[in-house]
């Protein structure tokens, strides 16, 4: 009996789970806040919180944030766009809340990503993905809120056992890890 080995499926177009959509509950990390501005003490727009000494800072809140999220992926091309390899392409969208804190002055960011997702299937278990799109974060803090639009570029990997798996994404402006359910 020889060693077990995974069969490479990248050259077998369409040889992956066929699904109508994926649902991904996840934990999201945002390295920084969206559209943070640099505030200086001599700036007339400097919004010092009560009892805060005047110092230069990136505000509001700043710093990395972490929180829950969910993504939905809907493939619209099950075999392609490159028809000679095992790949598909779809749209990915969702939402997450990240909670940012900085010395007691924090912000909550509602991230709303929308992206094209390109998946490459190497084995029945292992696949990788690339995403390009936009994130439209809305930041809320004690003094107000801010809406921005920013580019979204991510790469990730998926370990899939049947219709259940785990997925991780790295990139800008969000990192995430979570479960993956295919329907």
The pLDDT of residue 23 is above 80: yes
The predicted model gives 106-118 an average pLDDT of 93
Give CA–CA dist 102/100, Å, rounded: 7
> Taking the model in full, what pTM does it have?
0.81
Residue ranges of the domains in the chain? 22-116+123-182
pLDDT at position 77? 94
Query: How far apart (Å, rounded) are the C-alpha atoms in residues 22 and 75?
Result: 9
Q: Average pLDDT for residues 92-104, to the nearest whole number?
A: 85
Confidence at residue 61, expressed as pLDDT on a 0 to 100 scale:
45
Q: Which CATH number fits domain 22-116+123-182: 2.40.160.20, 1.10.3720.10, 2.40.50.140, 3.20.20.140?
A: 2.40.160.20
Cα 70 to chain center, whole Å? 9
pLDDT above 80: residue 48: no
């Amino acid at each position: 009996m020889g060693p077990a080995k995974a069969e490479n499926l990248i050259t077998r177009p369409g040889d992956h789970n066929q699904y109508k959509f994926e649902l991904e509950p996840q934990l999201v990390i945002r390295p920084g806040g969206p559209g943070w501005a640099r505030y200086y003490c001599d700036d007339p727009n400097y919004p010092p919180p009560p009892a805060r000494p005047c110092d230069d800072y990136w505000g509001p809140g700043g710093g990395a944030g972490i929180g829950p999220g969910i993504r939905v992926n809907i493939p619209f091309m099950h075999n392609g766009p490159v028809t000679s390899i095992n790949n598909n392409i779809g749209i990915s969208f969702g939402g997450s809340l990240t909670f940012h804190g900085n010395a007691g002055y924090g912000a909550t960011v509602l991230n709303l990503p929308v992206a094209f997702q390109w998946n490459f299937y190497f084995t029945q278990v292992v696949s990788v993905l690339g995403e390009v799109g936009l994130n439209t974060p809305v930041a809320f803090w004690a003094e107000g809120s801010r809406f921005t639009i920013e580019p979204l570029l991510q790469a990730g990997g998926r370990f899939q056992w049947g219709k259940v798996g785990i997925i991780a994404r790295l990139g800008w402006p969000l990192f995430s890890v979570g479960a993956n359910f295919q329907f």
